[in-house]
Amino acid sequence: MRGRFSPFDRSERSSSVMFRATLDEEEEDVEEEPTHLNTNTSSLYLVVSTDKLTARYTGDGRHGNDVGAIQANRPAPCRRLLYYFEMTVKDRGEKGYTAIGFTDEHFKNSRQPGWEVNSYGYHGDDGKLYHGQGRGEPYGQGFTTGDTVGAGINYAAQEIFFTRNGKVLSGVYKDVKSALYPTIGLHSPDEKVEVNFGQRKFVFDVETMMLEERGRRQRAVENMPLPPAASHSIVRAFLLHYGYHDTLTAFDAACGAASADGSVDSIALGEFLPKQEANGVNGTIVTNGTSDDDMYALDQRKMLRRLIRDGNVDGVIINLQEWYPQVKEEHYSTIIFLLRCQKFIELVRTGQVEDAVALARTELASFFGKCQDQDLLLHDCLALLAYERPQDSPMAYLLQFAQREVVADAVNAFVLDTNPSMACIGKDGKPPQSALEKLLRQLTACHVEKRFLNGGQGEVFRLHRILQGGKDGGW
Amino acid sequence: MSMVHIGMMQSSSKKVITKEEWEKKLSEVKIRKEDMNRLVMNFLVTEGYVEAAEKFQHESGTQPDIDLGTITDRMAVRKAVQCGQVEDAIEKVNDLNPEILDTNPQLFFHLQQQRLIELIRAGKVEEALEFAQEELAPRGEENHAFLEELERTVALLAFDDASTCPVKEVKELLDNAQRQKTASELNAAILTSQSHEKDPKLPSLLKMLIWAQNQLDEKASYPRINDLVNATLEEPVT
């Protein structure tokens, strides 16, 4: 019902990550799988059973254009590691001209899979592999009545593979990048086959193949050489960047204590001191990799973060205006806006509703209609007033700690942005990022790009899921 | 023939992505702050920085993925091994969860081996001999690998001053790294018993980054990050 009063739909909401603690908005990525044969694509020479899983050839099989071929109802799903389906020959008929494979959308139902361009087929009579021409290459054994054969796509390796009675045959490079449909073909009287799109257990152990593929990838990842103590340095720089001062002190103390013990970790840390820090920053000896930029205004940032954490928004505003007079400028109005919203939230939290209303009238109303992201936050803030128990309302996320984190991070970024040395580098208005953030962006971008260059096929890399999930979130 | 030719063309002509294009792609990636917080918390917890983890929970509002109290116990066990107090460590582990050693014969053997090493280090020759024969030898009979380890360790007794031992594999048993190795094995077993991964996620993600970059190298030329600590973007190689 809320939707009626809200001018914003869900997709617009998800765009304003920067201003608000993120709502859970995991994108759906369940792909529909082939489930049965598509009788709309069926050849004239086939009779398909009512469950659309069995096909029988009714033609004469006299020439090259009276094949009985048929596709599955959907293309093989591609946002995954592997796709696989099977076919069992119920009756080889007169000549055993049954075939299994993949075809694209230009498929001809009167031709065997593999004969036409952009198609692949494994043929029962000669056991050959056909790809885009009428002549096959030696591949595996033929198959006949009682045999089960399968066809699969390994998206990680970009390969097509076939199986025969549970044994995998070699993979061939998949040069066709467009969508491929599971396809079968029959071509002599009385031939009858049954397909299995996963409704029943496969004869071939596709799960194990998947595990092996993942295992190979995991071992390859584990074998990558990592500079010792890289994680320590990155964590330390992160704590500095965001001004988590107490954590940083405890972390340094623990690392320093470790070095007194002469433990392996701290020896490694010493070796990897970037040059400029061997001399220390500001006369103090730092224990590992940090840049001056990470140190910038640490005391101020630390204090501002603490004030926000404690709900003291006025304190933040006063300090900011004293330390950074430019905060009053139009360019920086978003930070003031965020802080005022936060103040409003803190008032609602403590039940000072009348003060909250007064604040909204004097200081928030003027921000309406300036930008969409701001309007979204304003809308949700004000909506808190509509509920007797705002902590149980749909806007309850605003009252959680995470929203204070959002504001604290924004204030932190604002202060870092005032660093003159950063300005000289010319960061074209981008918010400063911690090394950890840059690395995670790079990691995601590499996966996205590689997948793009593979024609958008293969598993979608989801950092969030890896971080949330078990050991490796599927990776 | 023509097919082969096309194949070669594909592999040799790599797509070039300029730094500007790449930076745009990077800026389109959504990274949640809370995910980064969780990653840092996971590192602090797994590596046993209990105080830092407590502070971080307070400062960032990030919930640790394990009871912080168990870290203190785990670190006490680890420290005991690192200081050569193996008996003490065994006692502490058994207090924590007796199943850890019961279900992990290899770990238990390594702890006993470490205990033997400490006895030899302390010059308690008779005690070391007795311990080796009574506690370790029976286990060596059950397992050939254990027996070899035992023989290697006992070889230390042949030297009045083990630092003069010419055999590297024997001498290194007295190194600090040997204690670290045993301590890490024990640490990992405790974490596993608490249904927690034994390794922090951050180093795996860093390895994954190197791997992903190498994979993409095969298909495109783009700005890599080679210096992980400073996360600097290199110019694409063309």
d(CA B119, CA B81): 13
Instruction: Inspect the interface and report whether the beta carbons of A247 and B56 lie closer than 8 Å.
Output: yes
DSSP letter string over A164-186?
ETTEEPPPEE----S--EEEEEE
In this prediction, residue A67 carries a pLDDT of 93
Is residue A96 left, alpha or beta, with left meaning phi > 0 and alpha meaning psi from -120 to 50? left
Query: Which of A229, A284, A293, A225 lies closest to A255, judged by CA?
Result: A229
CB contact under 8 A, B55 and A249: yes
Q: What is the CATH superfamily name and number for domain A39-220?
A: SPRY domain (2.60.120.920)
- The answer to whether B34 contacts A224, with C-beta atoms less than 8 Å apart, is no
Quote the DSSP letter at residue A196: E
Q: Which of A248, A262, A274 sits opposite B176 (nearest CB)?
A: A262
Closest residue in B to A244 (Cα–Cα): B59
Answer yes or no: do B35 and A467 touch at CB < 8 A. Answer: yes
Question: What part of A 32-61 touches B (C-beta under 8 Å)?
Answer: none
How near does any CA of chain A get to the CA of B79, in Å? 10
Q: How many CB atoms lie within 10 A of CB A427?
A: 13
* A428 interfacial to chain B (CB closer than 8 Å): no
State whether A463 and B230 contact (CB < 8 Å): no
Calculate the average pLDDT of chain B: 87
Query: For chain A, what are the domain ranges?
Result: 39-220, 239-443
Question: Which residue among B33, B59, B197 sits closest to A309, beta carbon to beta carbon?
Answer: B59
This model of the complex carries an ipTM of: 0.77
Verify whether the Cβ–Cβ distance A224 to B207 is below 8 Å: yes
pLDDT for A266 = 35
Distance CA(B201)–CA(A443), nearest Å, equals 14
Q: State the burial class of residue A4 (Cβ atoms within 10 Å of its Cβ: 0-12, 13-18, 19+).
A: exposed
For residues A347 and A359, is the Cβ–Cβ distance under 8 A? yes
The answer to whether A234 faces chain B, any CB pair under 8 Å, is yes
- Cβ distance A289 to B87 under 8 Å? no
In whole angstroms, give the CA distance from residue A247 to residue B51. Answer: 8
- Which one of A173, A224, A291 would you mutate to disrupt binding with B, by most B Cβ within 10 Å of its Cβ? A224
Closest alpha carbon to A20 in A444, A341, A329 = A341
* Tokens (6 digits) for B233: 């973007």
CB B154 within 8 A of CB B132: yes
Nearest alpha-carbon partner for B35 in B6, B65, B5? B65
Cβ atoms A114, A198 nearer than 8 A: no
Q: Tell me which residues of chain A, numbers 240 to 259, contact chain B at a CB-CB cutoff of 8 Å.
A: 242, 244-251, 253-254
| Average pLDDT per consecutive 10 residues, chain A (475 residues; last block may be shorter) | 34 41 53 92 90 94 89 93 96 95 93 94 96 93 96 93 96 91 96 96 95 92 86 92 93 67 37 34 40 78 91 91 79 83 92 90 84 86 89 89 90 84 52 90 94 87 77 47
Sheet of A129-131: strand order equals: A68-71, A181-186, A99-103, A119-123, A129-131
CA–CA dist A421, A361 (Å, integer) = 39
Q: Whole-angstrom Cα distance, residue B147 to residue B151?
A: 6
So what's the pLDDT on residue A221?
93
**Which strand (E) or helix (H) includes residue A396?**
none
Question: What is the phi-psi region of residue A127: left when phi exceeds 0, alpha when psi lies from -120 to 50, beta otherwise?
Answer: left
- Which contacts of A418-427 are long-range, i.e. CB under 8 A and separated by 24 or more positions? A418/A297, A418/A324, A418/A326, A419/A293, A419/A296, A419/A297, A421/A292, A421/A293, A421/A296, A422/A293, A422/A296
Those residues with Cβ within 8 angstroms of residue A252's Cβ, 6 or more apart along the chain or in another chain: A236, A287
- Cβ contacts of B226 within 8 Å, gap of 6 or more: B232, B234
Which chain B residues touch A254 with a CB distance below 8 Å? 49, 51-52
Question: Would you call A467 an interface residue with chain B, using a CB distance cutoff of 8 Å?
Answer: yes
Give residue A27's pLDDT: 52
Considering only CA atoms, which of A244, A265, A433 is closest in space to residue B200? A265
CB distance from A117 to chain B under 8 Å?
A: no
- What would the two tokens of residue B225 be? 């990050």
Neighbours of A196 (CB within 10 A): 17
Cα A166 off chain centre by: 33
Q: Are B64 and A256 in contact (CB under 8 A)?
A: no
- pLDDT, position A272: 35
CA B125 – CA B118 distance, rounded (Å): 11
Distance of CA A129 to the CA centre of its chain: 35
Helix (H), strand (E), coil (C) string for chain B: CHHHHHHHHHHHCCEECCHHHHHHHHHHCCCCHHHHHHHHHHHHHHHCCHHHHHHHHHHHCCCCCCCHHHHHHHHHHHHHHHCCCHHHHHHHHHHHCCHHHHCCHHHHHHHHHHHHHHHHHCCCHHHHHHHHHHHHHHHHHHCHHHHHHHHHHHHHHHCCCHHHCCCHHHHHHHCHHHHHHHHHHHHHHHHHHCCCCCCCHHHHHHHHHHHHHHHHHCCEECCCECCCCCCCECCCCC
- Residues B32, A233: C-beta atoms closer than 8 Å: no
Cross-chain residue pair B52–A220, CB shorter than 8 Å = no
Asked if the Cβ–Cβ distance from B209 to A450 is below 8 Å, we say no
Q: Tens digits of per-residue pLDDT, B214-227?
A: 999 998 999 999 99
> What is the share, in percent, of chain B residues with pLDDT greater than 90?
49
Q: Which of A14, A240, A251, A276 to mutate to test the interface with B (most CBs of B within 10 A)?
A: A251
Q: Please tell me which of the candidates A274, A405, A450 has its beta carbon nearest to residue B33.
A: A405
CB contact under 8 A, B29 and A444: yes
What phi, psi does B109 have (nearest 5°)?
-60, -45
* Separation of alpha carbons B61 and B54, rounded Å: 10
Query: Who has greater pLDDT, B13 or A315?
Result: A315
Identify the DSSP state of A261.
T
* Tokens read off for A450: 């590689």
**Contacts with B34 from chain A: Cβ below 8 Å:** 21-22, 402, 405
Contact A247, B56 (CB under 8 A): yes
Measured CA to CA, the distance from residue B186 to residue B184 in angstroms comes to 5
CB A89 within 8 A of CB A61: no
β-bridge partners, A192: A56, A91
- Rounded CA separation B227/B214 (Å): 14
Closest to B44 in 3D by CA, of A157, A264, A248, A428: A248
Q: How many CB pairs under 8 A join A and B?
A: 193
Reduce the DSSP state of residue A401 to 3 states and report it. Answer: helix
Judged by CB atoms closer than 8 Å, whether chains meet at A291 and B36 is answered as no
**Which tokens sit at A202?**
């496969």
Burial class (CB in 10 A: 0-12, 13-18, 19+), A229: buried
Helices vs. strands in chain A: H and E counts, helices first: 17, 13
Nearest chain A CA: its distance from B73 CA (Å): 16
Q: Is A207 on the interface with B (CB under 8 A)?
A: no
| B54: chain A residues, CB-CB within 8 Å | 250
pLDDT at B9 over 90: no
Indicate which of B45, B229, B233 best probes the interface with A, i.e. most A CBs within 10 Å of its own CB: B229
Best B38, B60, B79, B191 member to test A by mutation, with max A CBs in 10 Å, is B60
Residue of A329, A231, A347, A336 lying closest to A289 (CA atoms): A231
